[in-house]
Amino acid sequence: MEPGVEELMPRLLPVDDCDLTEDFDPTVPPRTPQEYLKRVQIEAARCPDVVVAQIDPKKLRKKQTVNVSISGCQPAPEGYSPTLKWQQQQVANFSAVRQSLNKHRNHWRSQHLDSNVTMPKSEDEEGWKKFCLGERIHAEVDALSDNENLGIDYIKLGFPPLLSIVSRMNQATVTSVLEYLISWFGEKKFTPELGRWLYALLACLEKPLLPEAHSLIRQLARRCSEVRVLEENKNEEQISALNLIICLVSRYFDQRDLADEPS
């Protein structure tokens, strides 16, 4: 070890040079305390000063950066701010839904899915967007052809968040799908299909929240507040749905700084 390094990293147990026989072989197990200490010295001298980890970038997820903002939600449009009584009622209803889901989860998980229901793998982002929202919304097709109106095509319309479906999703999948839909919502408009799935996923989200889920739901609430401000036609039903999500995030999941002030 160099003298300069010796000053920065003094030996806790100073060891004098060992008098060893000429046939000393550091590759074989030590036979005496002196041979052991000498072997340790040799191995320490061979260690590089700097070690660089070899990381395979292919194994890293493509989304590693989480943007966290400390700003709150934008106020509701004038005349559309929910009352405190309404918010308290929504929290009570939501709590009842969660309790029922937890109580009957094993029952619904045991129910057979229809033959046309194939749940994507947890890491299949595009697959889950199509599964939840349907190919029509995912591909941004505004209308269905006459032939498509003859029956319900869940491949094109998206599968609803049936209890038999969401009960099969573990917490990792719930969080992943929530992330996929919030990412989609970050650049797209709010739809009833999206609203139903967001409500269902929030109902499946376990408390206490993991840091990733905590960041996601706050991002969701802020996005909902942005969309309702930009709602040109002031669609009361849509604003009410956006108010509901903000209410659940802020008041049920204890993100009170995002809550709407009672009107």
CATH code where residue 249 lies:
1.20.58.1070
Place of tokens 């970038």: 57
Domain span including residue 120: 84-141+152-258
pLDDT for the residue numbered 37:
75
Place of tokens 């739901």: 217
Tell me the two tokens of residue 6. Answer: 């010796």
pLDDT for the residue numbered 21:
65
- 249 neighbors 182 (Cβ within 8 angstroms): no
pLDDT for the residue numbered 32:
77
The verdict on residue 189 lying in a domain is yes
The verdict on residue 202 lying in a domain is yes
pLDDT for the residue numbered 90:
97
pLDDT for the residue numbered 20:
65
**Residue 235: strand, helix, or coil:** coil
Enter the pTM of the model.
0.69
The verdict on residue 170 lying in a domain is yes
Q: Based on the structure, what is the number of domains in the chain? A: 1
Q: Which residues contact 226 (CB under 8 A, 6 or more apart)?
A: 74
The verdict on residue 9 lying in a domain is no
- 245 neighbors 221 (Cβ within 8 angstroms): yes
pLDDT for the residue numbered 25:
76
pLDDT for the residue numbered 261:
86
The verdict on residue 147 lying in a domain is no
- 17 neighbors 42 (Cβ within 8 angstroms): no
Tell me how far apart the alpha carbons of residues 15 and 37 are, in angstroms, rounded to a whole number: 8
Tell me the two tokens of residue 143. Answer: 């209308």
Query: For residue 185, what are the CA distances in angstroms to 28, 219, 222?
Result: 64, 10, 11
Four-point Cα dihedral 123, 129, 134, 137, nearest 10: -160
The verdict on residue 236 lying in a domain is yes
* DSSP state string for 123-135: T-HHHHHHHHHHH
Q: Tens of pLDDT along the chain (263 residues)?
A: 455 444 445 555 555 555 666 667 777 777 777 777 777 777 777 777 666 666 766 555 555 554 444 467 898 888 889 999 999 999 999 999 999 999 999 999 998 898 889 999 999 999 999 999 998 775 665 544 444 444 567 778 889 999 999 999 999 999 999 999 999 999 898 999 999 999 999 999 999 999 999 999 999 999 999 999 987 677 889 999 999 999 999 999 999 999 998 76
pLDDT for the residue numbered 145:
47
